[in-house]
Amino acid sequence: MFFYVNVVYLRTPAINLTGNFTIEFFVRLDAIDTDVGIFSFGNLNSANTILELYNDTSGQFRLYSSTGGQIGSVSAAATVDQWNHISVTRNGNIFKAYKEGVEFASDSTARTINNVLTIGGYVNTGYLMKGYIQDFRIRENLVYTLDSSGNFTPPSAPFEG
């Protein structure tokens, strides 16, 4: 199932991720014309956003932390009108983000994730994305086995069923 995001978003009650996890989904952007949130943990009443993935006007996916700073110095180019597989993992205190199975951000700062989840925008919903999100999943484990280069082979298309 997928949903179109432009004027709508999905917000959940607080989610507490205490151990290792994998967040993964497919995203297809219709346009890259403004800063947009893809997903974020946090809310307007919290002092900060815990973790977010957003796409900026330069056409890059970037992972941001609770201090508002970019995690790592690397980003991954977004492709308009094409499905992109994105995953974010935590293994111990190591956060990593991948596009199409290739790592583009890594950080070892300890973080607690116990807040609302917004899918399709930033926490204040002023930065809604234009496009589709499909198969958004949170798993309480690491899903993929990394190869010798530290990357993995992602699914080639959105999940069936």
Dihedral angle of Cα 12, 14, 15, 19, to the nearest 10 degrees: 160
Q: Is residue 57 part of a domain?
A: yes
Contact status, residue 63 vs residue 116, Cβ threshold 8 Å: no
Please tell me the predicted confidence (pLDDT) of residue 85: 92
Q: Is residue 155 part of a domain?
A: no
Q: Is residue 145 part of a domain?
A: no
Q: Is residue 75 part of a domain?
A: yes
3-state secondary structure 4-63: EECCCCEECCCEEECCCEEEEEEEEECCCCCCEEEEEECCCCCCCCCEEEEECCCCEEEE
Please tell me the predicted confidence (pLDDT) of residue 45: 57
Tokens of 115: 């807040």
Domain with residue 123: its CATH number is 2.60.120.200
Question: pLDDT (tens digit, 9 = 90+) per residue, 13-27?
Answer: 888 888 899 999 998
Question: pLDDT (tens digit, 9 = 90+) per residue, 125-140?
Answer: 667 888 888 899 999 8
The ranges of the chain with pLDDT < 50 are 1, 47-49
Please give the residue range of the domain that contains residue 88: 2-139
Q: Is residue 94 part of a domain?
A: yes
Tokens of 110: 């300890």
How far, in Å, CA of 100 to CA of 91, rounded? 19
Please tell me the predicted confidence (pLDDT) of residue 52: 67
Q: Is residue 74 part of a domain?
A: yes
Q: Is residue 70 part of a domain?
A: yes
Please tell me the predicted confidence (pLDDT) of residue 67: 59
Q: Is residue 45 part of a domain?
A: yes
- Structural domains in the chain (count): 1
